[in-house]
Amino acid sequence: MKSAVLVFPGINRERDMARALKLASGNETAMVWHAETALPKGTDLVVVPGGFSYGDYLRCGAIAARAPVMDAVRDFAASGGLVLGVCNGFQILCESGLLPGVLMRNAGLKFVCRDVHMRIERSDTPFTRGYNAGQVIRVPVAHGEGNYEADEETLKRLEGDGRVLYRYCSAEGVVDEASNFNGAAHSIAGIVNERGNVLGMMPHPENHVEEIMGCTDGRGLFAGLVQQFDKAA
């Protein structure tokens, strides 16, 4: 699997992401600067990492979403390429129009930085094939604006089409108000676009992939992606 991680000023999780991708795939990850107008040839997966692009000025992800490299990402996604956006990356994908909805200020107004649980809603997608449907994993979150909102029509379509892949839940897998720490609509932690090739998620699976991190629950996502391309090849 050849992956490319986008780099914007103010992003800070790009190296964590590149490390997790290398650990899973064995390949070096290309780091692609925001001013580039093309992705490296043969890219299988584009990752928009987390951080605080442009200091969250204007709106989280708003300025990064208009960077030159995003036109190349749009073309890549339109041709079916896999795109993964984590945290600020999710915000950037929403702002760029690649995903519906918006990430609002956390309902409690506080920046939340801790481990949470999320439930894998289905396992038959490139982004979840490393897990079982219904499986609960522990992942870190670190955001102030992760409260996913969309209009009723969009939410209905997301649910109806099974495009909510990850949902915040208790350690036992129960989706309830108490575990929905940022107030997201339908406890949404991650969604895919209509075609299923663009995923946005708030939690950081890349920070739970090695024993030294205290948890390896995030490995499944990367292992699943690698499997996807092994199968294709």
Partner 1 sequence: MKARVTVTLKSGILDPQGKAIEGALKSLGVDGVASVRQGKVFDIEFAATDKAKAEAALKAAADKLLANTVIENYRVEVLS
- Catalytic choice (95, 121, 145, 206): 206
Q: How far is the CB of 35 from partner 1 (least distance, A)?
A: 17
Window 18 to 47, contacts with partner 1 (CB under 8 A)? none
Q: Does 105 bind partner 1 (CB under 8 A)?
A: yes
| CB closer to partner 1 out of 151 and 194 | 151
Specify whether 87 is catalytic: yes
Q: How far is the CB of 187 from partner 1 (least distance, A)?
A: 15
Cβ partners under 8 Å of residue 118, min gap 6: 136, 137, 139, 166, 167, 168, 169, 189, 190, 203
Q: Does 112 bind partner 1 (CB under 8 A)?
A: no
| CB closer to partner 1 out of 8 and 222 | 8
**Distance in angstroms (rounded) separating the CA atoms of residues 115 and 230:** 31
Q: Does 180 bind partner 1 (CB under 8 A)?
A: no
Options 14, 16, 95, 206; binder of partner 1; rule CB under 8 A: 95
- Closest listed residue to residue 33, CA positions, set 16, 20, 14: 14
**Distance in angstroms (rounded) separating the CA atoms of residues 110 and 30:** 34
Answer for the pair 5, 18: CB distance below 8 angstroms, yes or no.
yes
Specify whether 206 is catalytic: yes
Answer for the pair 151, 169: CB distance below 8 angstroms, yes or no.
no
For 105, half-sphere exposure in the C-beta direction (CA atoms, 13 angstrom radius) is 4
Q: Does 122 bind partner 1 (CB under 8 A)?
A: no
Specify whether 121 is catalytic: no
Answer for the pair 82, 120: CB distance below 8 angstroms, yes or no.
no
Q: What residues act catalytically?
A: 87, 204, 206
Q: Which positions lie near partner 1, rule CB under 8 A?
A: 58-59, 62-63, 66, 95, 100-102, 104-109, 149-151, 183
